[in-house]
Amino acid sequence: MRINITPQQLAAFLRVAETESFSEAAQRLSVSQPSLSRTIRMIEETLGSRLFDRDTRNVSLTPAGHELKPIAQRIVREFDSSFSELSRFVTGRRGRVGIAALPSMAAVLLPRAIVRFRETRPDVDFQIIDAHSGSVENAVAEGLVEIGLTARPNPDRHLLYHPLLSDEFGLVCRKDDPLVEMETVRWNVFADRRFVAMSSGSSVRAITDAAFLQQDMAVAPLFECGFLATARALVDARLGITALPGLTVPLMAEAGLVWRPLVETYRRSLGVIRRAGISLSPATLEFIALLRQEVRRRERDQGNSRAIQSDGDAVVE
């Protein structure tokens, strides 16, 4: 038998049982006494049993009322708890943020942003996948994650793109390389040196190939790396030099490598991708907003750092 009694009706029943007074219960519930009486009568009619014995002065539970009380308490408690969890999800205080990101974005931007986010949203979980641009796009398109952090995708992917930052390319070499002493560095430095390239299909490789083509340079990479750590190790081992975006500077600095901006500026646009027509979870929307703040903070810090170091020789900028 299906019993159509709502949690709100059970809450009204519990308030009468608690106060043993219809008038006091009605006052606490902010309803009229006749309205409360109708609610209790509807419950009794649905159950086919009286719940309260009452006269002009006293209200007390019947045996059926005593039997219903713990059941009603459990249902109301579970109902309130469930909607409390839903409320936390809707306000972004609970949930899961799934992100696929380029390795440089995952390593440089995400850690600090996640730490800051979890200061006020400790119950939000994160799933992070670091991959090249094509794999990032696939992860978002297939619904494996909600958002991707990557370069601007091709229009035929039918993914929405929201820019985050513009990433300038520069030379990466050892700090004892003679190139460090050059006042200006141009792309033609790669014509006479072994070039360490990122793998085909990566957003970095797309930019360097386009730069060499526009500079009318034939540069055959002797190494093609799928991971930034490999490129860093090869440069550090004096096996070549490379061109990488500024976002990778912290990763290169760990090995004591130098990053210098190239005079002929090439940039890649990095941003957030998502599936069209799909709503993002509140926690994910909150995190995107904080990530934008983190990008702005980083850009301010970079500007201050460059201003301070402009009179001296800096290992990284």
- Domain boundaries defined on the chain: 7-90, 95-309
Mean pLDDT by 10 residues, the chain (317 residues): 78 90 90 91 90 84 90 85 64 78 91 92 90 91 92 86 92 93 89 91 89 89 87 93 91 86 89 90 90 89 51 36
- Answer for the pair 40, 52: CB distance below 8 angstroms, yes or no: yes
Q: Judge whether 147 and 284 are in contact, CB under 8 Å.
A: yes
For the CA atoms of 252, 255, 260, 261, the dihedral, rounded to the nearest 10 degrees, stands at 0
Token pair for 166: 């513009």
Confidence at residue 187, expressed as pLDDT on a 0 to 100 scale: 93
Where are the strands (E) in the chain, listed by range?
52-54, 59-61, 95-101, 124-130, 147-151, 159-174, 196-198, 223-225, 242-245, 257-261, 267-275
Query: What local confidence, expressed as pLDDT, does residue 201 receive?
Result: 81
Give 169: exposed, middle or buried? Use CB within 10 Å, 0-12, 13-18, 19+: buried
- According to the model, what pLDDT value does residue 136 have? 93
Statement: 7-90 belongs to CATH 3.40.630.30: no
Q: Are strands 267-275 and 147-151 parallel, antiparallel or unpaired?
A: antiparallel
Beta strands in 159-256 (DSSP E): 159-174, 196-198, 223-225, 242-245
Let me know if domain 95-309 sits in CATH 3.30.540.10: no
Within a 10 A sphere around the Cβ of 181, how many other Cβ atoms? 7
Place of tokens 């930019």: 207
218 near 212, Cβ under 8 Å?
A: yes
Rounded Cα gap, residues 24 and 153, in angstroms? 64
What confidence score (pLDDT) does residue 303 get?
63
pLDDT at 155: 82
Rounded distance between C-alpha atoms, residue 10 and residue 20, angstroms: 15
- According to the model, what pLDDT value does residue 99 have? 95
pLDDT at 317: 33
Do strands 59-61 and 223-225 pair parallel, antiparallel, or not at all (unpaired)? unpaired
Report residue 43: phi and psi, to 5°: -65, -45
- Could you give the C-alpha distances from 255 to 80, 146, 153, 229, 317, in angstroms and in order? 54, 34, 31, 10, 14
Reading phi first (left if > 0) and then psi (alpha if -120 to 50, else beta), residue 205 is in alpha
